[in-house]
Amino acid sequence: MLPFDFDYFKPATLKEAVDLYRDLDQRGKKPMFFSGGTELITLGRIALAYTEAVINIKDLPECKVMHVSNDQLLLGSTLTLTKIEEANLFPLLTKIASEVADHTARGKITLGGNICARIFYREAVLPFLLADSKVLIVGPEGKKMVPINEVFKEQLQLKKGEFLVQVATETRFIGAPFIGIKRRQQWDTGYPLITIAALKLGRELRVAISGLCPFPFRSKELEASLNSDKPVVSRIDEALSKLPTPILEDVEGSANYRLFVLRNLLSDIISAFGKS
Amino acid sequence: MKSHTILLNINGEKRSVIVRSGDTLLYVIREKLGLTGAKPGCLNGDCGACTVNVEGWPMKSCLMLAVEANGKKVITIEGLENTPIQQAFVENFAFQCGYCTPGFIMNCHSLIERHPDAENPLIKEWLESNICRCTGYAEIEKAVKSVLRKNQSRE
């Protein structure tokens, strides 16, 4: 139970949602778009999140799409991770999404909610960073379709009143060989230490990482090192020298331990793809 | 707009109830509808003790606002009567203190209904959503597998 009261709205259209946000914001209500709502419910309970107006976008038709057309897979932002997993239209996304939280919780957590989460893992974004996907964002200035690698800088760069509607991915990326690995300190149910997603496009290896830094990322510099013609150990050494900072140091693992795990993950991925 | 009258189809009955926007489904079914089978545990979506079934899917009722459930079909442990999974829990001694049992049964029931042909990886994936502090996992696994086996042998 949340210890504060708020107004609750369920708009029927994207425009209505955007207009509601603007009006509520002008009235100082600190409005919040709500999809799965798990962060508001869990963080709000312990006074780490607060709003006076919730705008539930979960049932907006544009946010619930899941289909392939014109060589593009369209996934709505309010699809639950369970629905995405059961449909299995993007196997790398299925692999990564199926290890977020637990099965029942994934029936509430949504794609957009995970990508835009405050909690730093945001693993569902990794496959889209690798596949150069595009995101449809709606806001006070209307709709815009933009490459995710241009607008996801540590987190999705949304302006006030904007929200994520869909993610579009070209089908040529969906069938590419992939690897998704999640390492935890404790069994299969602990919080993540590092999650790594890799995609092989011809001779090119792409990797995106969550849990290493306080944000998920894909680094072109790191990939250039991994794709060079040097011996594997040198490639990995060079890649590790190009990581963003800071490296996380928390109860799940020290910075040095995370780097140790990452080194092994990169080695496993290169080996599995037969580049060694 | 801070309080709402919602209509729940709960355990086959239509119930109208006034809720605050910030009330979780767990709070409403326990404190306003008197259905205390769903248990408050972590209240953070981790333990699964509060699991109910919403529109055929398992749902941690501490992770859902009651207003979100407006018009939806909800089943709590009180809504199950002599189902095979309940019998299997008895036959396999699949509970000790019993606190996690309603949540586990609701999750197992949804699994059996949605995936009657479920095999080990799927069973493991679904059951990882619930925690048993008495560590009765082996017996719970036996219980759910016994129901799946019986159903599969009938087909």
C-beta separation of A121 from A210 below 8 A: yes
Whole-angstrom distance, CA of residue A177 vs CA of residue A175: 7
Higher pLDDT, A251 or B73: B73
Edge-to-edge strands, sheet with A66-69: A66-69, A72-76, A163-170, A134-139, A142-147
Q: Which of B22, B27, B68 lies nearest to residue A4, judging by beta carbons?
A: B22
Tokens 């020298």 label which residue?
A241
Whole-angstrom distance, CA of residue A32 vs CA of residue A52: 8
The CATH T-level fold of domain B80-154 is DNA polymerase; domain 1 (1.10.150)
Whole-angstrom distance, CA of residue B53 vs CA of residue A71: 37
CATH 3.10.20.30 residue window(s) in chain B: 3-47+61-75
Whole-angstrom distance, CA of residue A141 vs CA of residue A26: 16
Q: Per residue in B64-92, pLDDT tens?
A: 999 999 999 999 999 999 999 999 999 99
Q: Per residue in A110-123, pLDDT tens?
A: 999 999 999 999 99
Here the ipTM equals 0.96
In chain A, the percentage of residues whose pLDDT exceeds 90 is 93
Sort residue B12 into left (φ over 0), alpha (ψ -120 to 50) or beta. Answer: left
CATH 1.10.150.120 residue window(s) in chain B: 80-154
The answer to whether the CB atoms of A6 and B2 lie below 8 A apart is: yes
Q: What is the pLDDT along chain B (155 residues), one digit of tens a residue?
A: 689 999 999 999 999 999 999 999 999 999 999 999 999 999 999 999 999 999 999 999 999 999 999 999 999 999 999 999 999 999 999 999 999 999 999 999 999 999 999 999 999 999 999 999 999 999 999 999 999 999 888 76
The answer to whether the CB atoms of B125 and A98 lie below 8 A apart is: yes
- To the nearest whole angstrom, how far is the Cα of A60 from the nearest Cα of chain B? 14
- To the nearest whole angstrom, how far is the Cα of A149 from the nearest Cα of chain B? 31
C-beta separation of A266 from A276 below 8 A: no
Neighbour count for residue A56 (Cβ, 10 Å): 20
- Percentage helix, strand, coil for chain B under 3-state DSSP, each rounded to 5: 45, 20, 40
Give the global pTM.
Answer: 0.95
Whole-angstrom distance, CA of residue B38 vs CA of residue B69: 16
The answer to whether the CB atoms of B60 and A4 lie below 8 A apart is: no
Would you place residue A1 in the very low, low, confident or very high pLDDT band (cuts 50, 70, 90)? confident
Q: What is the CATH number of domain B3-47+61-75?
A: 3.10.20.30
